[in-house]
Structures are given as C-alpha cells and as structure tokens.
Structure 1
C-alpha cells in the first residue's frame, strides 16, 4: 500500500515542497544548524582557525528529506548565525567564505540524492565535503584572512597549503559524522514521521543497508591519504612550511590530526568491510 505524503509531492523521485512548507523547513534547518554549530564553535582546528563542526549532519539530513534548496539556504543562514554569535557581530569571514561554501555544498548534496539510494548518499557526502569545504577554506584563508584583514602575509603557494590543510581538517572530522549519524536520523524519521519522508528514501532507509563496499572505500581511501599527508608533514619540508604558515612552533597537533583522523577513517572502513 502506498503512503500519502502530506509534505512532499514527488515526480520522478524529486522533492517538491509548497512554498510555505519550504520556508518553515528552511527556518528549522537554519536554527538547528546554528545551534549545533555554535555548540562546538570554540573547538578550533590545529591551524588556529576553522572550527570542529559535526553539526553538518543537520543540513545533510534536510537535503535528503526536503531537497537541495531548504538545506542550502538553511545551512548558509545557520552558519552565518553561529559565526556571528560567536564573534558578537556580523562576521565577514563567514559571509565571504562559510555562507557560499555551505550553500553550494548542501545544494549539491540535495541535488545528488534527489533520486535516492545509499550509493548516491555516499557520493553526495564525499562531493559536498570536498567542494563545500574547499570553497570555504580557500575563501576564508585567501579572501578574508590574507586580503581583507591582511593577517596572513604569505606567498600564494603557502596560502594554498593552509587552505588545503583546513579543507582536509574539515573533511576528515565531518565525514564520519555524515556517513554514520545522518543515516540514523533518516531511518528515525522514516519510522517516526513517514509522511514527511519521500518514498524512495523511506524504502531505502527501512529496507536496505548502506552498500558495504562503497561505504568502506569512502572511509578507507581518504584515511590512507590522510596518513600519507601526515608522513609528508613529519618527514619532508611540508612540516616546516605548514608550521610557518600557521605561525606554530611545532606541527605536532597537525601531525596528530592527520594520523588520528586517517587511522580512524581506515579503522571504520576496515571494520565495515570485514563485518558479516
């Protein structure tokens, strides 16, 4: 028996929301993301800027259930609210970097999963966390920190390394949460509020598991790359360049970030691959 969707009207697997509902959903996404982001706003990256943000599971969930636009706008507003609240004013760094990065990233997420499968969900997670974080990191480091406030007087090459480091930090700290927590939220919504969940998401969420091989590779390959970068930071001039760029006397925290992040991803991937 087919379910009646009170919120979603679907055509060919795509989510279409009434404008009034879309506005409410967007506001909910923004409020929850702002609160979740602010909760970890004072946990910085080893570079000294850029925060720990597991709250990305919130717009990832909204993108899956309600489509790209509510998630994109909600994520953009939510990150601006959280960053501005932290700094006590409208924060230009968020406006020029985090807002476009979150908007583009989670719009892509919702666009990719508009015809839902767990394989597409994994792909959306990887694409969003790569592109969205890269936009945010490069915009923040180069446009805001280096050009606008002139706080990073380094060469373009060094600024690129800092931006890549920040992108990698966000990627390895966000990926486990998106791939592990968001599916739980989707399944919980499918159980508790089936009327708001699109048919394809409902069926996949309750009747199928994440593809073991794709999930394992999505964790293991980035993990291996993280360890390789960590080794390069420890044993090549990359460490000195990174320390100078981040104004650090030691790269130990950055090395630990790469090693622990990489080992964590590899471990999760291998456990998934060997689990019966």
Structure 2
C-alpha cells in the first residue's frame, strides 16, 4: 500500500504529464467529466465512433468505459476500443453504471468484462454485486441502502474478476482480492450532483495512466485526492446548494495540492 507519507505525490505527476484520458462515457456527464479532468490537470478526449475508437484508445494514457446511457452501437464501439487498448498496453477503467437495473445492462457489463482486460472496475455496491452474480438491490443507477459487507464484496469481486475493484459509497473500498483499503474521506454533497461517480472513474483513469505498474496505489491516490477535494469544496460552499458545490468542487480539483491530500487522507487497511 501507499505509505501515508507518500500519498499525494501522484497528483503532481498527473499535472506534469497531463495524461490523455479517452472517455467513452454517457451523455449526461460528458461536460462535467471533461471539465473535471481539465481542472485536475489531465487531458480529456471523448470519442465514440467505432471507426475511430481503436486509433484513439491506442494513443491514450487510459481508456474509460462508462455504460451510463447504453446503446447496442456504443457497446460494439466499447469492445473495439477495449481490445485496441489491451493490445497497446493502455489500462482500461470500467464503470458498470446501473448493472443490475435491467438484464441488458447486467449482460453488457459481463460481456465487456469477458471480452476486455479491465485494469480497474469502479461502481457502487449494487453495481459491483450484480456484475458478480450477487443479489443486491438497485434503484435506477443508484444503490439501495447497503445490504451486506462491502469489504467482503470488494475482495470477492476482485478475486472473481481478476482486477482491482473499487466500491464507492459512504466509505470507499479498494481491493485487489488479497488486501482491502477503506477511504473515509468525501462529503454527502457529492450525491447531489449528477456525474460525480462517473468523473471519479475518469480521475482514476488519469492516475492509473501515470502509474500503470502499481495500480492499487494509483487508485488509492486518486480516491484520496478526489474525496479530500470534495471536503474542501463543501467547506467553501457551506450553506449553499448543489450548484455552488459543483463549482467549488471543480475549483478544488484545480487548486488542491499534494500536501492537502497527504494531510487530509484517511486510509485504513483491512
């Protein structure tokens, strides 16, 4: 695991390298995702056409697949892009939005995991559970109140899927199947702005793009930077609504520095 004293150093690396993050994301969050990555210091690109996704994926630092607004055409393009990224050694980050809500979404998530080598999968507890065949309630694309042990779920899913699993919620859990880490940073206002989970997946992509060998470390640093920024934004927008928080959050992603991440991160290993 990343030692507490080292947390934050990858944030500087992201800003120095400005990794290209290829996002195949949903129409609801495209603008927010692009602005969030730019605020952080990464370089976003959104490319969806099956005629070009392979070429774009090959030159990216990371490929993010997000099935929020799902179509059959998009699934085909995601598989093309994912296979191209695998061939080029580009890490693929997967967000199985709404898995479990409909048979199509669940089947699509499993198809992508079967056909593409996924470096990291990030979702809420219900999404991750339904991907691995566990019965966990979901309402639309949101998890129902937690029904089980999220740490156990993350470890089990990581072993079954042979990837790094991130389960986000009140607490965030990261597991590679052997170890699990709990991040207790963040703020409830994140749930009042659409796309904050999707942006987090893309931010994970930016961090993994600059640290491909130690993926768990990259994911932990991404989560800490993101959730500490949310706390800073909530303080700045205290007493205001989601609109003010969203603006403050983009500003916080832009201004947060490694020392703030290091001093503010709360990470526990289990």
- TM-score of the pair, normalised by structure 1: 0.27
The higher-RCO structure (CA 8 Å, 6+ apart) is 2
Structure showing greater radius of gyration is 1
